[in-house]
């Protein structure tokens, strides 16, 4: 049983979801300002130097295309010289100006003209800084649902294919948001753990395949469930073993959207040519 408030952050490239665990209570899904259980992973900086998050950012991106950020999940730890970067920018409809930071990673150029008449300002933002702002937004939503109580500890899900540098950047983003990360957990491992908690016939050994297609990637895990007896208490507990993991970090649900968009565009252009 927890002795303080803890949140679980399912941070996806298109949406994020948060669970809140309070002392003595089961976990609850955190609702955003629109009373929805998932929030767009989007951030917009407008001309008034205000940060607009989630669904509000989604509505503002057409007005501020160069200072609206999405699909940040894909840019964690990405080198500016990565040969896949131009294709990623084009396929994800990224309108932002980018450059290499001093580490060689993708950095974001922010140019803003303020309404107060001052000179335009150019800033450089790191990917983990932008993600940190989204983490902070999620933290504030969670604290509101927790009745104004402070939240410091969290667990964050990450793709299984993240390397050590990418994991470090997620930890840095959480630190920027004022969060202490208890654990980084693979997305499918988190789902497998929840399935193990909820399954009824725990005395039966079971092997399950978990298929997880997100917006920008696909992961598959094979998990075995069994029971073991702990001594000297002679207590039976469930044992969860991840047998295998596989992924395609270039295939996600949004790729089907692009196929449909291109098909509709081709048919529309064909009608214009008649």
Q: Which pLDDT band holds residue 94 (cuts at 50, 70, 90)?
A: confident
- Counting DSSP H helices and E strands in the chain, the numbers are 6, 15
Packing angle, helices 164-176 and 127-145, rounded to 10 = 50
Tell me if 243 is assigned to some domain.
no
pLDDT in tens, 52-91: 999 999 898 888 888 899 999 999 999 999 999 998 898 8
What is the pLDDT averaged over residues 213-241? 87
The 10s digit of each residue's pLDDT in 230-267 is 777 777 778 899 999 999 998 999 889 889 988 999 99
- Residues 159 and 193: their CA atoms lie apart, in Å, by 15
pLDDT at 117: 63
Residue 48 has pLDDT above 80, yes or no: no
* Vertex 200: Cα angle to 194 and 201 (nearest 5): 115
How do residues 148-183 score in pLDDT, each as one tens digit? 999 999 999 999 999 999 999 999 999 999 999 999
Determine the structural domain holding residue 175 and report its residue range: 6-187
pLDDT of residue 45 exceeding 60, the answer is: yes
CA–CA separation, 266 and 270 (whole Å) = 6
Which of 43-47, 220-224, 248-252, 260-264 has the weakest average pLDDT?
43-47
Q: Which of 61, 67, 173, 187 is nearest to 127 (CA)?
A: 173
- Given a cut of 70, is residue 214 above it in pLDDT? yes
**What are the C-alpha distances in Å from 161 to residues 94, 103, 214?**
23, 21, 14
Tally of structural domains, the chain: 1
Buried (b) or exposed (e) across 59-85, using 16+ Cβ within 10 A? ebbeebebbbbbbbbbbbbbeeeeeeb
Q: Is pLDDT above 90 for 25?
A: no
Residue 266 lies in a domain: no
Q: Residue 271 — φ and ψ, nearest 5°?
A: -65, -35
Whether residue 170 contacts residue 184, with contact meaning beta carbons closer than 8 Å, is answered with yes
Task: Give phi and psi for 108, each to the nearest 5.
Answer: -110, 125
Assigned domain for 213 exists:
no
Does residue 176 belong to any structural domain of this protein?
Answer: yes
**The domain spanning residue 173 has which CATH number?**
3.30.420.40
pLDDT tens for residues 99-122? 999 999 999 998 766 666 667 778
143 occurs within a structural domain: yes
What pLDDT score does 114 carry?
61
Asked if the structure places residue 239 within a domain, the reply is no
Instruction: Answer for the pair 229, 235: CB distance below 8 angstroms, yes or no.
Output: yes
* pLDDT tops 60 at residue 1: no
52 with 137: CB under 8 angstroms? no
Can you give the pLDDT at residue 116? 62
Residue 195 in any domain: the answer is no
In a domain, 63, yes or no: yes
């Amino acid at each position: 049983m927890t002795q303080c408030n803890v949140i679980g952050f399912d941070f996806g490239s298109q949406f994020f979801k948060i669970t809140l665990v309070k002392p003595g209570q089961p976990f609850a899904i955190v609702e955003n300002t629109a009373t929805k259980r998932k929030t767009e992973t989007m951030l917009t900086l407008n001309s008034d130097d205000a940060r607009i998050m989630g669904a509000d950012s989604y509505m503002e991106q057409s007005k501020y295309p160069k200072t609206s950020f999405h699909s940040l999940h894909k840019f964690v730890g990405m080198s500016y010289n990565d040969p896949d970067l131009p294709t990623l920018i084009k396929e994800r409809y990224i309108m932002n100006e980018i450059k290499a930071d001093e580490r060689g990673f993708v950095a974001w150029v922010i140019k803003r003209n303020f309404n107060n008449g001052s000179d335009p300002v150019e800033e450089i933002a790191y990917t983990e800084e932008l993600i940190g702002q989204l983490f902070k937004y999620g933290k504030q939503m969670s604290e509101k649902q927790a009745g104004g109580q402070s939240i410091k500890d969290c667990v964050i899900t990450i793709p299984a294919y993240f390397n050590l540098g990418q994991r470090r950047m997620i930890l840095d983003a959480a630190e920027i948001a004022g969060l202490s990360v208890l654990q980084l957990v693979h997305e499918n491992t988190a789902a497998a753990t929840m399935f193990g908690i909820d399954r009824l016939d725990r005395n039966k050994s079971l092997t399950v395949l978990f298929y997880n297609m997100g917006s920008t990637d696909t992961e598959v895990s094979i998990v075995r469930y069994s029971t073991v007896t702990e001594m000297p208490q002679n207590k039976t507990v469930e044992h969860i073993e991840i047998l295998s993991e596989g992924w395609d970090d270039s295939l996600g649900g949004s790729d089907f959207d692009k196929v449909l968009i291109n098909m509709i565009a081709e048919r529309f252009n064909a009608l214009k040519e008649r």
